[in-house]
Structure 1
Amino acid sequence: MKLVFAIFLLVCFALISSSFFQTTEAGSSFCDSKCGERCAKAGVQERCLKYCGICCEKCQCVPSGTYGNKHECACYRDLKNSKGKSKCP
């Protein structure tokens, strides 16, 4: 009985973890491509990609173009850093 229960728990864990990893991979590839476009002309690309990625993961959207157009994504526009300035590039 213990063996059957242990196998059941392993199968459940495998199913849950695989569906979680597929969701995160899909979200990150979306954000990687969108932030790559957004930060294409940034002076400090590494920093731009970092903050754009954080904002994209939270908001699930990135404004079009390399600058401006923040009205297209209100969540992205409204995220602020500790100093009250826009967090998202």
Structure 2
Amino acid sequence: IYTTGPAQSILEGITRDTVITLAEERGYEVHDEAIISRGQLYTADELFFTGSAAEVTPIRSVDDTEIGSGTRGPITEELQDAFFDLVERRTDDHDDWFTYL
């Protein structure tokens, strides 16, 4: 999994950090300081956004170029499921990340 870092003007947010941790826990190698060209985006198997509002959202196309099969990819699906299981408290993983009021 490749993501750009702060040198490419990306926000190092909580959602991004959470998804990176979830990916690494599932055995994915994460390259979090990558420089990604537009051409690499066009030829990626799958892409997704992370963010407070976006949460984990698949990207189906870039500049009208379909990404992969044009649907949510299996890695995106796995990480979306893990993310929502966590934030909706369907798992006790990372209980220390939560502050209960």
Report which of the two has the higher share of strand. 2
**More helix, by proportion:** 1
Answer with 1 or 2: which has the greater Rg: 1
Q: TM-score, normalised by structure 2?
A: 0.27
Give me the TM-score of the superposition, normalised by structure 1: 0.29
